[in-house]
């Protein structure tokens, strides 16, 4: 089945700087890659997603890039703010339908004021 | 749009009792609902996939007789933890999707079994 690896596990960034989180996946047929933000004790919230027919997608300070050949995708957060502090999960939907997401192990992002 | 509710938000029960958790999609019809379990500082672990009107598909290692899932309508799925034990204490989260890949998550239920 699909295997998603995520790095780093923790990341501390000075406020205003950029943060980058990287994920790799194993199933070359995977075609949907969402990113979720989870604050402590709360639900994961979808912040951005990308499909395999697109190489990059941007939404204000957040962007995601996808390299299908290398089977990796990355989350970029620019001009970080204290409220960006949370755990971020990448995920992928493998081939075979049924929409099952395989999650990465998560990255705890801390923005230092 | 795409709001998912979950009830209760937290529950404390005695060992041996059963606990039912409800997951509802409030403003869309969810053809598929998913149940996850999350331990502290860990990722979400998929327990089962539930399609309306059919039996749930459980992930390897998840006991279907212990974690009963019912998806009676396009807006409601329930997870019943039967004969709960302290090791079942966890954060249970549901998600719902409607014929697309995007999953929307409920707020989660924190279960503590004494």
**pLDDT tens track for A1-19:** 789 999 999 999 999 999 9
Query: What is the Cα–Cα distance from B68 to B82, expressed in whole angstroms?
Result: 7
* Residue B1 banded pLDDT, cuts 50, 70, 90: low
**What are the residues of chain B with a beta carbon less than 8 Å away from any beta carbon of chain A?**
4, 32, 34, 41-44, 46, 49, 57, 93, 97, 100-108, 110
Hey, what are A69's tokens?
A: 């050949």
pLDDT, tens only, B27-67: 888 889 999 999 988 999 999 999 888 889 999 999 999 99
Task: Select from A88, A91, A99 the residue whose CB has the most chain B CBs within 10 Å, as the one to mutate to test that interface.
Answer: A99
Is the per-residue pLDDT at A99 higher than 90? Answer: no
Contacts of A104 in chain B (CB under 8 A): 43
3-state SS, A39-50, equals: CCCCCEEEEEEE
Q: Is B79 helix (H, G, I), strand (E, B) or coil?
A: strand
Q: What is the pLDDT of residue A96?
A: 56
Query: What is the Cα–Cα distance from A13 to A16, expressed in whole angstroms?
Result: 8
Q: Which of the residue ranges A58-67, A90-99, B14-23, B97-106 would you say has the lowest mean pLDDT?
A: A90-99
Q: Which of residues 14-73 of A touch B (CB under 8 A)?
A: 32, 34, 36, 41-46, 49
Do the chains contact at A106 and B101, CB–CB below 8 Å? Answer: no
Is the per-residue pLDDT at B84 higher than 60? Answer: yes
Q: Which helix (H) or strand (E) holds B4?
A: strand B4-7
Among candidates A70, A69, A67, A47, which has minimal Cα distance to A59? A47
Q: Which helix (H) or strand (E) holds B25?
A: strand B19-25
Q: How many Cβ atoms are within 10 Å of B42's Cβ, its own excluded?
A: 13
Q: What is the pLDDT of residue B54?
A: 83
Hey, what are A105's tokens?
A: 């192990």
Among candidates A107, A5, A112, which has minimal Cα distance to A47? A107
Is the per-residue pLDDT at A48 higher than 70? Answer: yes
All residues at 6 or more sequence positions from B83 whose CB lies less than 8 Å from its CB, including other chains: B16, B17, B18, B66
Q: What are phi and psi of B83, to 5 degrees?
A: 45, 60
Q: How many Cβ atoms are within 10 Å of A3's Cβ, its own excluded?
A: 12
Burial class (CB in 10 A: 0-12, 13-18, 19+), A26: middle
Pairing between strand A10-14 and A107-112? parallel
Residue of B nearest to A35 (CA): B102
User: From the CA atom positions of chain A, what is the Rg in Å?
Assistant: 14
CA angle B63/A106/A104 to nearest 5° reads 60
pLDDT, tens only, A17-27: 999 999 999 98
Cα dihedral B50, B56, B62, B64 in deg (nearest 10): 140
Contacts of A49 in chain B (CB under 8 A): 101-102
Q: What is the pLDDT of residue A100?
A: 84
Sole residue written with tokens 């989660």? B108
Is the per-residue pLDDT at A50 higher than 90? Answer: yes
In chain A, the N- to C-terminal Cα span, in Å, equals 41
């Amino acid at each position: 089945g699909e295997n998603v690896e995520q790095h780093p596990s923790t990341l501390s960034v000075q406020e205003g700087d950029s943060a980058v989180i990287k994920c790799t996946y194993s199933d070359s047929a995977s075609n949907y890659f969402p990113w979720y933000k989870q604050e402590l004790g709360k639900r994961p919230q979808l912040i951005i997603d990308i499909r395999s027919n697109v190489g990059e997608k941007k939404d204000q300070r957040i962007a995601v890039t996808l390299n299908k050949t290398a089977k990796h995708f990355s989350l970029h957060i620019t001009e970080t703010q204290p409220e960006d502090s949370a755990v971020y999960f990448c995920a992928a939907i493998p081939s075979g339908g049924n929409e099952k997401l395989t999650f990465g192990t998560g990255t705890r992002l801390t923005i230092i004021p | 749009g795409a709001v998912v509710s979950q009830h209760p938000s937290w529950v404390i029960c005695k060992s041996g009792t059963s606990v039912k958790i409800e997951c509802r999609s409030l403003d869309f019809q969810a053809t598929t609902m998913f149940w996850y379990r999350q331990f502290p500082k860990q990722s979400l672990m998929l327990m089962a996939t539930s399609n309306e009107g059919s039996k749930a598909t459980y992930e390897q290692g998840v006991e279907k007789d212990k974690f009963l899932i019912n998806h009676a309508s396009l807006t409601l799925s329930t997870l019943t933890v039967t004969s709960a034990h302290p090791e079942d204490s966890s954060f249970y989260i549901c998600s719902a999707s409607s014929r697309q890949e995007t999953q929307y998550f409920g707020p989660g239920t924190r279960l503590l079994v004494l």
